Amino acid sequence: MLFNSLDFLLFFPIVCITYWILPNKIRNPFLLIASYYFYLNWKPIYGLLIFCSTIITWLCSLGIDKTEKKEYKKSILLFCLISNLSILFLFKYANFFTSSVNACFEMLGIRLEIPQMNILLPVGISFYTFQAIGYTIDVYRKTILPEKNFFTYALFVSFFPQLVAGPIERAKNLLPQFHSKHIFNQEKALEGLKLMIWGYFMKLCIAERLSPYVDAVYNNYHQHNGTSLLLATFFFTFQIFCDFGGYSLIAIGAAKCMNFELMQNFNRPYFAINIKQFWRKWHISLSTWFMDYVYIPLGGNRCKTTKHLKNLFVTFFVSGLWHGANWTFIAWGSLHGIYLIVGILKNKYLPKVKAPSVIHTIVNVIVTFCLVMFAWIFFRANDITSAFAIIKKIFTEPGALYNGDGLPNQLLGLLCIGILMMKELKDEMNLKINFMHNENVVISTVSMAAMVSFILLTAVYTGGQFIYFQF
């Protein structure tokens, strides 16, 4: 079930109203049923996968807690990790692995045809798998106590607002909320609705409007010049932010309407002054997950410089692989790792540039944005060969701009991007200018009505999936 579907617009109000009508003791079972219904809407058989991951991590966590010997705890944790990651590998990476092996042997002149499996990637498998694994590791580290109630834990793994595309929640934040007695809070509900409205604006008015142009150019890059490819890359930079950022806001807002607090997933990433700060602002739930469960266990920065840089690169290499079974994602993650390594070496060995703070900040923001936009080429390209061909065209083949659906459509897309960035700039500069969030009820209500009207008038209703559903 998509957030931008009519089904969800019927599903969510019914679930939300029913949740508040029901007695507190049966709300969690109701949410669990609703969450599984939400997920099973895509492909019912894949409900077995999330149930399997849930029961494995739950039982393993109980076993870790009850076992006294450290080596037994490690064995149980290892079994849990191997089991969950094996499922993830089978459904997400098996075909990528076999095709890569076939290609390697072909380069050596050996014809090897390892057959590929006809398997559809389960929606959200990377998200709920990482959430469940994180819980088990936290129990092993004694950061949290294991959840004794299986159904409560199952709800933690499958909670529908953040199930298929995050945020990847931590057990210490979300699990206690399922044990709390929730009382309807009008202010929180309104705040949740406002977040959802802005999320729908990002998705329907920006991401969905830019998507046809990006797809037309990138899927037929050989027919387009560098100017069109540059504009498509610029559009994709905002398409993916608005697509995923919009989803996160809808998820956070939907949860807030039921008095649940999910973690912030984006914090004005395109105003970052360097790549390090970008990753503190972009997909925060994933970047902190990799920091806590990959980067720090590898040694983090508490080691020699060479090992520290290696730890960084490995973390971003794995992050790229997490995003998809394609060398383009690995290249994208590795490139960000290289960015960070270069930044560390620059700060260590080169003198700092003396310039007025405002000018320095603006230059850093622009440079960081350009580096991020360049990396998105690999993320969006269909394959590595296409990515390098697109880069070459951008730098060597200027020409007339491809109009796509027409200039008015592009201008409307740019207008919506402008609205987004003005709002982001306002928040970045902490300006006390509020419309939907104004304390004055009249201004707030009128602003909400105006925003909803603008969305209804300018939205693109293609029913397109969110980009991160493929991860």
**What are the residue numbers of the active site?**
323
Q: Amino acid identity of 207?
A: A
- Say what the alpha-carbon torsion angle 86, 87, 90, 93 is, to the nearest 10 degrees: -80
- 12 burial via Cβ count (<10 Å: 0-12, 13-18, 19+): buried
Helix axes 226-257, 357-380, angle to 10 degrees: 100
Quote the radius of gyration of the chain (alpha carbons, Å): 23
DSSP state of 352: P
Residues 6+ apart with CB under 8 A from 223: none
Residues 6+ apart with CB under 8 A from 91: 49, 119, 121, 122, 125
- Give CA–CA dist 290/431, Å, rounded: 33
- Give CA–CA dist 368/305, Å, rounded: 23
Whether 136 and 75 have beta carbons less than 8 Å apart is answered as: no
- Roughly how many angstroms between the first and final C-alpha of the chain, as a whole number? 16
- Give CA–CA dist 162/124, Å, rounded: 9
What count of residues does the chain have? 471
Which pairs from 364-369 meet CB under 8 Å and 24+ separation?
364/273, 364/274, 365/270, 365/271, 365/272, 365/273, 368/272, 368/273, 368/274, 368/275, 368/277, 368/278, 369/237, 369/270
Neighbours of 271 (CB within 10 A): 19
- 35 burial via Cβ count (<10 Å: 0-12, 13-18, 19+): buried
SS3 420: helix
Q: Residue 310, by phi and psi: left (phi above 0), alpha (psi -120 to 50) or beta?
A: alpha
- 10 burial via Cβ count (<10 Å: 0-12, 13-18, 19+): exposed
